[in-house]
Amino acid sequence: MDFGNDAMENYVLAAEEGIDYLVKHNWRTENLEVWADKAAAMPESAWSHPREGKRVVRFSEWVERTVKFKGKEVVLRYRMVVEVSERTTDAKGTTLLLPLVGVDAWITSMDLPETEVIALYRDHGTSEQFHSEMKGELDLERLPSGKFMTNALILEMGVLAYNVLRLMGQIGLKGYKQRHESKRHRIRTVIQELLCEAARVVHHAGQLAYKFGRTCLAFERLVLLRAHFSES
């Protein structure tokens, strides 16, 4: 979870339920120089150099705190993973007047290498992109009913629609003429370029057909999708 959920009560509750947690630490009014000094004391071999003019060190500490929870004192043991970065040049190679030091931290119950913990947290940003598509582009941000079962049904239908549109987008990439490589299409793009394509409905020889314009850019992808779903 992001730093808005950095509260001791959440960690105690997760520990009681036997659930691992990973939360971005909210520094609030803490003195970051303490952690920067700890990083400076680390040997040079502990630092990595992602690019010219930037070095990064990661380390962790186990912390024990006594927390008041539901009227009683609970001893909570958690791990703080800290990442300190020092930049002497920016991403374009311009030399900075003074080194720029950044300090980030994550609180977790997991005993994993620091790089894995940080990668796990940063990957939750990927899932947030998919959540935003469901909420914004499928208009499921606000559920319509005050009844749980009705909203559950709406969500299940939304998940089905989302998966179909995602599948159409992935298959349609094969026939998509693009300037640069894309790994996926957003749901809005699939709806605009495939579902909202204009066509004329034609009845001929007892059959129903769609006639697309000669300049229809999505025609090849629509044919590809039809062939794929016909085979499956």
Within a domain: residue 93? yes
Within a domain: residue 92? yes
Within a domain: residue 31? yes
Asked whether residue 26 falls in the same domain as residue 108, the answer is yes
205: left (phi over 0), alpha (psi -120 to 50) or beta: left
Angle at 225 between CA 203 and CA 131, to 5 degrees: 120
Domain range for 55 is: 3-115
Asked whether residue 89 falls in the same domain as residue 13, the answer is yes
| C-alpha dist (Å) from residue 126 to 50, 131, 207 | 22, 9, 45
Asked whether residue 7 falls in the same domain as residue 99, the answer is yes
In the chain, DSSP finds a helix count (H) and a strand count (E) of 6, 7
Q: For the chain, what is the domain count?
A: 2
Asked whether residue 159 falls in the same domain as residue 204, the answer is yes
Instruction: Quick: pLDDT tens for 65-98.
Output: 888 888 888 888 899 999 999 999 988 888 989 9
| C-alpha dist (Å) from residue 152 to 24, 52, 133, 145 | 30, 51, 18, 10
Instruction: Let me know: does 78 contact 107? Beta carbons within 8 Å.
Output: yes
Instruction: Quick: pLDDT tens for 107-135.
Output: 999 989 999 999 999 887 777 777 788 88
Asked whether residue 105 falls in the same domain as residue 172, the answer is no
The residue written with tokens 């040997």 in the block is 43
pTM, two decimals, is: 0.62
Return the percentage of the chain with pLDDT > 70, whole number: 95
